[in-house]
Chains A and B, each alone.
Chain A
Amino acid sequence: MNRFVERHRSILDFALSSLLRRKGKNISLWVVYTLIVFLIAAIVFYTHALKREAAMILQGAPDIVVQKMVAGRQDLVPVGYVGKIAAIRGVGAVRPRLWGYYYDAVTGANYTLMAPDGSLPGPGTADIGSGVARTLRVVEGDFLPIRAVDGVPTLFQVRKVLPYASELATSDLILLSEDDLRALFAFPRGFATDLAVTVENPAERATVAAKIAAQFPESRPILNSEILRTYDSIFDWRGGMMVVMLGVAVFSFVIFAWDKATGLSAEERREIGILKSVGWETGDVLLLKFWEGAAISLAAFLCGVILAYVQVFFFSASLFEPALKGWAVLYPRFKLVPDVDPYQLAVLFFLTVVPYTVATIIPSWRAATVDPDAAMRS
């Protein structure tokens, strides 16, 4: 056992010395490799953590949201539907939701205005999300101007800034009283934006949704599971930007590995020839090349993954912010809860370390099987 370990250690010593002889080339190789692993790992960690966060937070979303469709577009729902839907067996409660969007021409930000059920903000006051407070630079007690439908600005006193911790769900919210919201948008009485339906038994949600759709053919019931699925597909690896970013990263890795796999430099070929002529076996040469590949790829994998973890979970994935922000003026600041799927980590390992190490061995095997004299002269 000791002999076996000592043999590997000696070959590893030789491999590291060989790598250090071409210091510039190998350090740049390691840096590029680390960057590629970092990029792939950061995307994987970020999307996985966001999907998990969405699944955790949106468990509290309504069981079913009922919209009314007119000519393929969403329209206001008559509050009269409430009683009829509540009468369907299995329905626990039906609450009309009153909400809409407000574009603030001064800052260029879009806000979500909402009149929550119950007695949250009183008339003339508003509760705002942290993102709104940050964008408008207002604090509790300040006044918030909102232009009504007739163009007249109305002032609302900020009663409360919603907790920073909930920013991922409430960053752009402005909560007003029902009367204020109806007055601002000239919202007709007896109508709501949509209806939130609570179903007593989660297993009956689909059945209740089917009954609602049958009773109101112009309605569109959206199940809680569909809401969660939306976020699954947004951050799925097949999703738009993700597939582009992952594609670029994987493609650059393939070029990188291919370049390595397609050949050895004349110097490396000569080195193999000399080693064989002084008595090294083909197996020893392959072991040497394996350790050279493994040393670079293992170091790059570990450093890339650690950097990605720190970037995503300690620095809130600030590198991705410009891509995710797009044209939006208001962007939530949130910290993701660290969560890494071991399966994804294993896939990442086998997609990066193994192909690179194999790619290093194949050309060396070709060089190691030719005559040492020919290898030295080539």
Chain B
Amino acid sequence: MRKSTVFSLFTLGNAILLALLLLYGRYGSGEAGAVQEASRNLVRELQLTDLCLFTEARYTRHPSMADLHSAFQDHPMALEHFPSGSMVSPPRFRRGRP
């Protein structure tokens, strides 16, 4: 078989796989929609305000509820606002933690 044919088949195969994955994301995740609906109802019922993504500190657990001037207030993964942030090390009892 010619090399160009092998390459074309490889590219076409990948393109079809990618298209199928994208279509799966759009149409094949109907069950996920029901899960999201259930989560939304639970959030409404419990009156929750934030996603439980970072549980390290109050301003990362509930970024939208945090004090206006607490560190990382813009968002938890933001670079520290204040120059002192690069010099202050974590509390001693936390240093040994992985």
- Establish whether residues A332 and B53, one from each chain, have CB atoms under 8 Å apart when the complex forms: yes
Task: Report the separation of the CA atoms of residues A116 and B58 in the bound assembly, to the nearest whole angstrom.
Answer: 19
The residue in chain B whose Cβ has the minimal distance to the Cβ of A232 is B75
Out of B39, B41, B78, which one reaches A240, CB within 8 Å?
B78
Task: Report the separation of the CA atoms of residues A54 and B36 in the bound assembly, to the nearest whole angstrom.
Answer: 10
Collect the chain A residues with CB atoms within 8 Å of residue B67's CB: 72-74
Collect the chain A residues with CB atoms within 8 Å of residue B75's CB: 230, 233-234, 239-240
Collect the chain B residues with CB atoms within 8 Å of residue A12's CB: 3-4, 7
- Establish whether residues A306 and B54, one from each chain, have CB atoms under 8 Å apart when the complex forms: no
Task: Report the separation of the CA atoms of residues A158 and B41 in the bound assembly, to the nearest whole angstrom.
Answer: 22
The residue in chain B whose Cβ has the minimal distance to the Cβ of A228 is B64
A38: interface (CB < 8 Å): no
Task: Report the separation of the CA atoms of residues A162 and B50 in the bound assembly, to the nearest whole angstrom.
Answer: 16
A339: interface (CB < 8 Å): yes
- The number of residues on chain B lying at the interface, defined by a beta carbon within 8 Å of a beta carbon of chain A, is 59
The residue in chain A whose Cβ has the minimal distance to the Cβ of B62 is A112
- Establish whether residues B18 and A169, one from each chain, have CB atoms under 8 Å apart when the complex forms: no
- Establish whether residues A57 and B51, one from each chain, have CB atoms under 8 Å apart when the complex forms: yes
Given that A9-B4, A67-B65 are known contacts, is A233 also in contact with B97, CB under 8 Å in the complex?
no
Given that A16-B7, A230-B75 are known contacts, is A324 also in contact with B55, CB under 8 Å in the complex?
no
A56: interface (CB < 8 Å): yes
Task: Report the separation of the CA atoms of residues A108 and B98 in the bound assembly, to the nearest whole angstrom.
Answer: 11
Collect the chain A residues with CB atoms within 8 Å of residue B76's CB: 234, 240
Collect the chain A residues with CB atoms within 8 Å of residue B92's CB: none
- Establish whether residues B25 and A60, one from each chain, have CB atoms under 8 Å apart when the complex forms: no
Interface size class of A (residues with CB under 8 A): 35 or more
Given that A194-B65, A239-B77, A241-B77 are known contacts, is A58 also in contact with B56, CB under 8 Å in the complex?
no
Q: Residues of A at under 8 Å CB distance from B?
A: 9-10, 12-13, 16-17, 20, 50, 53-54, 56-62, 65, 67, 72-74, 95, 97, 101, 108-112, 114, 116-118, 129, 131, 162-163, 165-173, 175, 194, 196, 220, 222, 226-227, 230-231, 233-234, 239-242, 244, 295, 298-299, 302-303, 305-306, 309-310, 313, 324, 326-332, 335, 337-340, 342
Task: List 20 A–B pairs whose Cβ atoms lie within 8 Å, in order of A's numbering.
Answer: A16-B4, A20-B3, A57-B40, A61-B44, A109-B55, A110-B61, A165-B35, A168-B52, A170-B42, A234-B75, A240-B75, A240-B79, A299-B11, A324-B53, A324-B54, A326-B56, A326-B60, A327-B94, A329-B55, A340-B25
The 6 closest A-B pairs by CB, nearest first: A338-B25, A60-B44, A302-B14, A240-B77, A60-B43, A234-B75
Q: What 17 new A-B contacts, CB under 8 Å, besides A10-B4, A74-B65, A332-B52? A: A17-B3, A20-B3, A57-B39, A65-B65, A109-B55, A131-B52, A163-B38, A169-B48, A170-B46, A171-B52, A222-B65, A240-B76, A306-B17, A327-B94, A328-B55, A328-B56, A330-B55
Q: Residues of B at under 8 Å CB distance from A?
A: 2-4, 7, 10-11, 14-15, 17-18, 21-22, 24-26, 29, 32-33, 35-36, 38-58, 60-65, 67-69, 74-79, 90, 94, 97
